[in-house]
Chains A and B, each alone.
Chain A
């Protein structure tokens, strides 16, 4: 038996941590702990959002918390040796030499990142062992559910959620309390609750992080929803591409059921088979029923007639994760955060040209600029902040000039972008907006279920126009056609996928029309991105170091030490490796 640990070393083992080598870090630290006779100090946790620093370990002891990032097995070992102290004097002596590997560069201050956030949904992420129900219980877990069942009527619960001002976090922002109230008011006995965990936007991983890091929280939220609307059966629809989330949620269901925490409620995980459109609620229901995931016209809404024809309340992971907090702290505490019509916090997956990428949770009302610059640490490499792409393929591009727009459903909608589910991609001056629009449209086009004419063929024709523009083969009326198609695809499609698919195009056309014009009329890509429209050139800064020639995969740059190099345009594939390799800014894009 090991001694009671004076310290706790948390190792991030969400998908992000594992992917960057977290398991090796854990093994290294556990080996040291074993040697020290201190098994049990290592706690596998989920993701605390500092994805850019994974693999990571956080040491919590009497003196406070120290965060180490970008660890390797060796540096992790040194960190562990530094913080653990073996009883044997011999071991201790041996360690003193070994631990001076220098872990100072791994130590960093997470405060600028975490300090400006407000953590409700993510409050336990990276803090608790997701598979340990006691850990969750120790942090007031399942208290809200117990409080509901013991002391609140379903109507009181719904009233409380309504009062909190919580709106759906999946993208559309429908008031959660109202949805529950409608569900509850439906005739008939049978109702279902569903947690929508089919997160599919490229670049978005909020729901995955929550499901992996704090699964019980989602179960609790879903159980409260079930209590409020009178459901005894529920599903968690999680995409199969999230195997870790599926595993942890299944384990969480098993352990909470074992403890009787869920009461009568039967929960089941159903895996989505990889169709983006199944995140749309009517398609999700079709998929749950065993059909092809294809949306249907609403009305009737699922809350009126959903799974197997019964009223079905579908809430997003993040929405459900807010519920326990609201009931524990009171609706007023939640409503105190945010703006008039957008309450609480919002989790974003910060990606793109940003110094501190990862998961952040900020209060509603914070401006986009603060989220990017203060929380995310701004744009790397001294580039200029050009725009953010919000809400993934359904969202839009917001130019830097509008970055002072607050994070608020309605304020964002006014710009043409949307809050969306929380993807936030930061773009700098080397990102081509036509290309960005094309990227997202290619995604939605490929993911369209193919049912509605406009979504199936209209988006394809739009994509063909964008392809032409990026190839420098735009035709005279392409922009008008693009805009017209965009408008009608959004107006004449059944579901959210089609209705929002043109948003990236519409917003970039609105804010960056000059870039489109340059592609069309001058066959020029102002951001120097579109391969067909640019050339690489080596200028007089060249010192003849040959790094570019070594980097070039197609031998388009001849190997000429101490001479100015040159690019053979015919061989060049515009892969940009030479420019990245050059230490003297001698490679330029023209």
Chain B
């Protein structure tokens, strides 16, 4: 027997045992990548590096034979740093992307290829399951989300991006209309209770994920009905109340308790909630409309109030001639709502269309419906006139870019003009009502309540905040994401775990793509235009508040889902280098430099080889050799350009005839993977 010491613990092992084997025996985990059990070690990746007393260099534990009296350290700062550096170096030459670009740009991290795959394979139930893993209120968001994902859809570089929002709305609507709509599983009741202030998108989302974890949730809201801005800030024609109600019903079904018409500071206090509940989530949104900041601003009608009153069925009478000031979605919503109420509507925006924060589609639709948008116009004052109001404006030109990167408008001298109108709607933004929060001891920022961006924790223990309440008026999808992330943190808080928030897996991106890569990515993909979204005719739009866009017909949804190229890594969730990069907090861009290019060998009937992701660990080379492959894999070239490939330029199908399965399983990256996209995910679910 050989006696050695690992991390201060003595162990006796048989001669021939490696340090890795000895550590395993002690239950000490040393990370490995190139190591394959039962095969001669390569000792190439160096993530199993350990420190051995008396050796100047670090030693690969997988290959180092244990020796009598050896003293090994597996967790020193130096060892950890070496591993981290090894990972960072490998990732700097790793042409792959863990996530599809669309998913990467979704604030909620929605697994888009995952759910489109469900639709494409006819399994919409599964699609719904995938969606609800990261997104509550999928149907509502599918209608109103600005869909940052679609901008980044890789297909946009080939023909047109996928209509992702319409697809998840399709899935959600289909599910909602099914006899037994999908309801996430609930963990057994934890006995813990969470109070949620604000039943808007952030609060509902937080409730949804907290309830799934078995915690009881009570939502307090000043409005008569839940939904927050989704109900009161977004007009019926964009998000019909029945769709929203259906999704809220699902949250209720999970066990949420709603206490409506309860105002913070009047009907309850934060301090009071903290004493009755184990944790509190603050998701009060950004409710306060910003004033126009010009003389006579008090004559303008606040946009959010207008929308809220209309949503509540008490549409104010604004007269025949309405001017909306602003360029965001609220401005467009106000304009189109006023239009439906019978007014002639103009929108004044102080910059140009390029700088408008609202969606292009919104402007297009508004204009199609007859809204007239004037750019580079800013209000100077509002005066009461005999027949209504006189709005005086001036023309602007664009100057230098400001801090946000947008070019700021500069007034043009002597360009004043006055427009008579029956009403002015101020839709220039909303802000968070912070005075209450401050009074209750919450720290605040210029935007909203101060909260940790990862854990959503505020300065008060057990109090979390998210959504517009933290970010200022922002996208609903960010609020929904914040609710989910807060739920994770609150769960950690309630279970007395370390408060770290959602695990942020390391993400490798592949940018910029060069022409060869684009060609490789799009090889074999036929061009196909995106489906047209069905919409009701203009006449009906002008006369009613009926939903403008309709659900995709089944055939179109299927066709569109099949356009999805299923980007992202086939092994994203079972990739060793990724999980180690996450564990060691490796920064994939730290040593960025020249890198491999994306290519694919699809010659094999079962597996795909992406040399760009290969880390030259040589595991497949050794497995193929041990498996008696006549051809096998080999390392080719020298220096940085070493590549693992079948020898003599042969296709993979000839190289791996009997050892493909073992190679795929041993490959620590997505370089060798099953052809069936994301098969391992299905496998890991089965496990």
Bound CA–CA A140/B24 (angstroms): 60
Residues of B within 8 A of A459 (CB): 640
Residue of A nearest to B64 (CB): A297
The answer to whether B594 touches A460, judged by C-beta atoms less than 8 angstroms apart, is: yes
Q: Is A476 an interface residue (CB 8 A)?
A: no
Q: Is A494 an interface residue (CB 8 A)?
A: yes
Q: Is B89 an interface residue (CB 8 A)?
A: yes
Q: Is B674 an interface residue (CB 8 A)?
A: no
The answer to whether B640 touches A445, judged by C-beta atoms less than 8 angstroms apart, is: yes
Residue of B nearest to A458 (CB): B89
The answer to whether A292 touches B635, judged by C-beta atoms less than 8 angstroms apart, is: yes
Interface centre among A275, A451, A452, A494 (most CB of B within 10 A): A451
Residues of A within 8 A of B58 (CB): 491-492
Assuming A451-B42, A491-B57, is B64 touching A446 (CB within 8 A)?
A: no
How many whole Å from B205's CB to the nearest CB in chain A? 40
The answer to whether A454 touches B89, judged by C-beta atoms less than 8 angstroms apart, is: yes
Bound CA–CA A493/B85 (angstroms): 13
The answer to whether B45 touches A453, judged by C-beta atoms less than 8 angstroms apart, is: yes
The answer to whether B640 touches A452, judged by C-beta atoms less than 8 angstroms apart, is: no
Q: Which of B607-648 contact A (CB under 8 A)?
A: 615-616, 618, 634-635, 637-642
The answer to whether B42 touches A447, judged by C-beta atoms less than 8 angstroms apart, is: no
Partner of A449, one of B49, B593, B634, B642: B642
Q: Which of A76-92 contact B (CB under 8 A)?
A: none
Q: Is B118 an interface residue (CB 8 A)?
A: no
How many whole Å from B18's CB to the nearest CB in chain A? 10
Q: Which of A137-183 contact B (CB under 8 A)?
A: none
20 more CB-based (< 8 A) A-B contacts, given A448-B640, A491-B58: A296-B63, A297-B43, A297-B63, A447-B639, A449-B642, A450-B616, A451-B635, A452-B44, A454-B46, A454-B89, A456-B639, A458-B89, A460-B594, A461-B591, A461-B593, A488-B82, A492-B46, A492-B57, A492-B58, A499-B57
Residues of B within 8 A of A294 (CB): 635
The answer to whether A453 touches B90, judged by C-beta atoms less than 8 angstroms apart, is: yes
The answer to whether A446 touches B82, judged by C-beta atoms less than 8 angstroms apart, is: no
What are some 13 contacts across the A-B interface (CB < 8 A)?
A299-B64, A450-B638, A451-B616, A452-B46, A458-B89, A460-B93, A460-B639, A460-B640, A461-B593, A488-B81, A490-B57, A492-B82, A499-B57
How many whole Å from B49's CB to the nearest CB in chain A? 6
The answer to whether A494 touches B640, judged by C-beta atoms less than 8 angstroms apart, is: no
Interface centre among B43, B92, B638 (most CB of A within 10 A): B638
The answer to whether B593 touches A464, judged by C-beta atoms less than 8 angstroms apart, is: yes
Q: Which of A453-475 contact B (CB under 8 A)?
A: 453-454, 456-461, 464
List the 8 closest pairs (A to B, CB-CB), nearest first. A450-B642, A460-B640, A457-B89, A297-B63, A446-B639, A451-B44, A464-B593, A453-B86
Residues of B within 8 A of A456 (CB): 616, 639-640, 642
Q: Is A64 an interface residue (CB 8 A)?
A: no
Bound CA–CA A476/B498 (angstroms): 36
Q: Using a CB–CB distance below 8 Å, which chain A residues touch chain B?
A: 275, 277, 292, 294, 296-297, 299-300, 445-454, 456-461, 464, 481, 484-485, 488, 490-494, 499
Residues of A within 8 A of B49 (CB): 492
The answer to whether A451 touches B640, judged by C-beta atoms less than 8 angstroms apart, is: no
Q: Is B60 an interface residue (CB 8 A)?
A: yes
Residues of B within 8 A of A292 (CB): 634-635
The answer to whether A448 touches B639, judged by C-beta atoms less than 8 angstroms apart, is: yes
Q: Which of B506-546 contact A (CB under 8 A)?
A: none
The answer to whether A494 touches B43, judged by C-beta atoms less than 8 angstroms apart, is: yes
How many whole Å from A493's CB to the nearest CB in chain B? 7
Residues of A within 8 A of B616 (CB): 450-451, 456
Bound CA–CA A445/B637 (angstroms): 12
Q: Which of B546-593 contact A (CB under 8 A)?
A: 591, 593
Residues of B within 8 A of A277 (CB): 638
Bound CA–CA A447/B637 (angstroms): 9
How many whole Å from A213's CB to the nearest CB in chain B? 31
The answer to whether B57 touches A450, judged by C-beta atoms less than 8 angstroms apart, is: no
Interface centre among B46, B65, B637 (most CB of A within 10 A): B46
Residues of B within 8 A of A300 (CB): 65
Residues of A within 8 A of B86 (CB): 453-454, 492
Interface centre among B43, B60, B67, B640 (most CB of A within 10 A): B640
Q: Which of B139-158 contact A (CB under 8 A)?
A: none
Residue of B nearest to A481 (CB): B591
Q: Is B242 an interface residue (CB 8 A)?
A: no
How many whole Å from A110's CB to the nearest CB in chain B? 41
The answer to whether A460 touches B42, judged by C-beta atoms less than 8 angstroms apart, is: no
Residues of B within 8 A of A449 (CB): 638, 642
How many whole Å from B85's CB to the nearest CB in chain A? 5
How many whole Å from B81's CB to the nearest CB in chain A? 8
Partner of A447, one of B64, B90, B638: B638
Assuming A452-B44, A452-B46, A492-B58, is B591 touching A457 (CB within 8 A)?
A: yes
The answer to whether A450 touches B639, judged by C-beta atoms less than 8 angstroms apart, is: yes
Residue of A nearest to B89 (CB): A457
The answer to whether A488 touches B85, judged by C-beta atoms less than 8 angstroms apart, is: yes
Residues of A within 8 A of B591 (CB): 457, 461, 481, 485
How many whole Å from B510's CB to the nearest CB in chain A? 17
Residue of A nearest to B640 (CB): A460
Residue of A nearest to B49 (CB): A492
Bound CA–CA A485/B81 (angstroms): 11
Bound CA–CA A484/B88 (angstroms): 13
The answer to whether A461 touches B60, judged by C-beta atoms less than 8 angstroms apart, is: no
Residues of B within 8 A of A493 (CB): 57
Q: Which of B65-93 contact A (CB under 8 A)?
A: 65, 67, 81-82, 85-86, 89-90, 92-93
Q: Is B439 an interface residue (CB 8 A)?
A: no
Bound CA–CA A173/B369 (angstroms): 87
The answer to whether B593 touches A453, judged by C-beta atoms less than 8 angstroms apart, is: no
Bound CA–CA A296/B57 (angstroms): 14
Q: Is B56 an interface residue (CB 8 A)?
A: yes
Bound CA–CA A277/B635 (angstroms): 15
How many whole Å from B211's CB to the nearest CB in chain A? 46
Bound CA–CA A516/B189 (angstroms): 64
Bound CA–CA A494/B34 (angstroms): 14
Bound CA–CA A53/B189 (angstroms): 93
The answer to whether B63 touches A460, judged by C-beta atoms less than 8 angstroms apart, is: no
